[in-house]
A and B are shown apart, each in its own frame.
Chain A
Amino acid sequence: MDYPSITLRNIKEPDSHKINTYLKSGGYKGLTRVLDDMVPEEVIGSIKRSGLRGRGGASFPTGLKWEFARRDRNFPKYIVCNADEGEPGTFKDRILIEKDPFAIIEGMTIAGFSVGAEKGYIYIRGEYVKGAEILRKAIKEAKEKNFLGKNIQGKDFNFDLDVYMGAGSYICGEETALIESLEGNVGYSRIKPPFPINVGLWDKPTVLNNVETFSLVAPIIVNGDEWFSNIGARDFPGTMIYSLSGHVNKPGLYELPTGINLKTIIYEFGGGIKDGKKLKAVFPGGLSSGCLNENEIDIPMDHKALAKVGSMLGSGAIIVINDETCMVEIARRGMKFFRHESCGKCVPCREGTFWISKIMLRIVNGEGKKEDLDLIKDLGQGMKTAAFCGLGLAAANPVLSIIKNFPKDFESHINDKKCAYNNK
């Protein structure tokens, strides 16, 4: 079946990162229409009707976010693009940045017009050196052609962009930690409310969206909100880029309608499990989502269905794992990540990630005890209920889902003091 390609439509074009290529393929038609024929309220209305929801993980309705920011009469306002992409398994934003930077820039400019902001920042993770360079060049080109800067396209509208580099911290992908980082601080997340929409960067109203979210804006303006709202799942319409990786034959990015079946993505698009092996587990929404077992993957990629099996859609990063893999090792590795990235501000996450990591190491080394699993469950439950921000709330998901789905892997480590798989 053929599906519409929106955000990835240009990436195979040679020089897709140059403004002339972008203009040739219909780029800046969205902004032009907005500036020529629309008032901000109409743009926001269209984004609202399209049903667009954020692609960064939390799936908040984008139009609503913009409307709240528009209504706030505190100036200046800011537009921030979250290009911190750190969720293990996710690699879509990097490709969008490197291959279609103008789609992001156009989306941010439309957002600026809609809410009344004249300044935007693209916060990009420090490792994306190439991406940052491409964005800086793109911003320069856009300025030269008066798509950024003063009196854009001769209209009474100014908008300027800067690229700001993160420096190696996963927590800075959380929106309030990102804002702290943009202000030159350590990336400690802030308490919500107030939300960044009203009290964001420099305590000003701030619209913060994911790279993919901004990339979808101009196509919605050009093709119409109705067109977009008719693609994919009703309550979460449009396309979504799935980052498919791990033990599959054809890893890569697949832009498909929202709500598509997970099994279809893995077998029809991903070509099934690599080397003729069997599937064992799948993380459907990045490491934070926790994993599903082989009997749970015949499931639509939507919030409700995934929540029912204790998982989440997250950033749409699908990590596929074959049946020769020890899931205890995956749990250990996963917790090590969260322990490393925990900012240390609150007790449940700082202590929980630390102690579960220690216990996991003990189990992997054949020194685990029967009580260890209950201890991990207790600590994990404590994190899920009491952690201050999204990192700590999700950090126990991998280990808890693995204990639930693959108890046998734990048993062999704890009872037989060894790994049942030789890949340890």
Chain B
Amino acid sequence: MELSPKLIKEINELADACPNKKGALLPVLYLVQKEYGFLSESILKDIAFILNIPEVFVFGVTTFYTMFHTSEQAKNIISVCTNITCSLLGSEHIIKTLENILKIKPGEMTKDKKFSLNLVECLGSCGTAPVMMVNGDLHENLTEEKIKRILDTYK
């Protein structure tokens, strides 16, 4: 995997907009992850080179934040909230339903790489619990029937 000239240009633009190149690291990681789906070791090394910061520093930051991925991800990432309010209102049942439909356990990816299933902390939507996110979309007041319909829209 190699950074395209276009990406390198965009990375430099982000870096130049900061008082210090390092300040662009999170936006740069997002930008590159959007392009490739995840952040490989070689890509992270390239980013460290462009931003002129140590490689271990880039690895450290990448692995500290849960939303950066260092391995291949499914096309659609399902994140089910399992914090207090959602678990009071049935997140466990939501997880079971998803496990049954997708035939995977939390932390796994379907064989066709279409979906992965993750359990996450409070998504800031407790008033409409239980909730989950698929990629960037929030889905609220979940029920078994609703989940089936939602998944269909991502196939």
Interface residues of A in 72-100 (CB under 8 A from B): 85-91, 93-94
Contact of A167 with B by CB under 8 A: yes
Contact of A181 with B by CB under 8 A: yes
Total contacting residues, chain A, CB less than 8 A:
51
Contacts of A351 in B (CB 8 A): none
Contacts of B64 in A (CB 8 A): 169, 186-187, 343
Is the CB–CB distance between A183 and B127 below 8 Å? Answer: no
Contact of A168 with B by CB under 8 A: yes
Is the CB–CB distance between B85 and A319 below 8 Å? Answer: yes
> What 1/0 flags go to B76-97 for Cβ under 8 Å of A?
0001001111011100000000
Contact of A287 with B by CB under 8 A: yes
Interface residues of B in 108-143 (CB under 8 A from A): 120-129, 133, 135-138
User: Separation in Å of the A277 CB from the closest CB of chain B?
Assistant: 12
Contact of B19 with A by CB under 8 A: yes
Find the A residue at minimum CB distance from B61: A186
Is the CB–CB distance between A89 and B26 below 8 Å? Answer: no
Is the CB–CB distance between A253 and B23 below 8 Å? Answer: no
User: Separation in Å of the A285 CB from the closest CB of chain B?
Assistant: 13
Contact of B30 with A by CB under 8 A: yes
Interface residues of B in 48-82 (CB under 8 A from A): 53, 60-61, 64-68, 79, 82
Is the CB–CB distance between B83 and A337 below 8 Å? Answer: yes
Is the CB–CB distance between A165 and B30 below 8 Å? Answer: yes
Contact of A245 with B by CB under 8 A: yes
A to B contact number (C-beta, < 8 Å)? 129
Is the CB–CB distance between B83 and A130 below 8 Å? Answer: no
Find the A residue at minimum CB distance from B28: A184
Is the CB–CB distance between B122 and A88 below 8 Å? Answer: yes
Is the CB–CB distance between A93 and B126 below 8 Å? Answer: no
Contacts of B26 in A (CB 8 A): 164-167, 181, 184
Is the CB–CB distance between B30 and A94 below 8 Å? Answer: no
User: Separation in Å of the B55 CB from the closest CB of chain A?
Assistant: 14
Is the CB–CB distance between A333 and B84 below 8 Å? Answer: yes
A155 to B119, CA, bound (A): 50
Contacts of A147 in B (CB 8 A): none
Is the CB–CB distance between A94 and B61 below 8 Å? Answer: no
Is the CB–CB distance between A325 and B124 below 8 Å? Answer: no
User: Separation in Å of the A206 CB from the closest CB of chain B?
Assistant: 13
Is the CB–CB distance between A130 and B138 below 8 Å? Answer: yes
Is the CB–CB distance between B123 and A89 below 8 Å? Answer: no
Find the B residue at minimum CB distance from A245: B126
Contacts of B82 in A (CB 8 A): 333
Contact of A378 with B by CB under 8 A: no
Is the CB–CB distance between A184 and B121 below 8 Å? Answer: no
Known A182-B23, A183-B20, A187-B64; contact A244-B127, beta-carbon cutoff 8 A: yes
Is the CB–CB distance between A183 and B23 below 8 Å? Answer: yes
Is the CB–CB distance between B127 and A251 below 8 Å? Answer: yes
Known A130-B136, A287-B84, A334-B84; contact A186-B121, beta-carbon cutoff 8 A: no
Known A167-B30, A183-B20; contact A94-B125, beta-carbon cutoff 8 A: yes
> What 1/0 flags go to A403-423 for Cβ under 8 Å of B?
000000000000000000000
Known: A89-B85, A246-B89. 12 other contacts (CB 8 A): A89-B122, A130-B137, A165-B30, A167-B68, A168-B120, A169-B64, A246-B88, A246-B126, A247-B89, A251-B129, A283-B84, A333-B84
Residues of chain B having any CB pair with chain A under 8 Å: 18-20, 22-27, 29-30, 53, 60-61, 64-68, 79, 82-85, 87-89, 120-129, 133, 135-138
Rank and list the top 4 A-B pairs by shortest CB-CB distance, nearest first.
A129-B136, A167-B65, A168-B66, A184-B25
Q: Can you offer 5 A-B residue contacts whose CB atoms are under 8 A? A: A89-B126, A91-B124, A91-B126, A183-B22, A253-B127
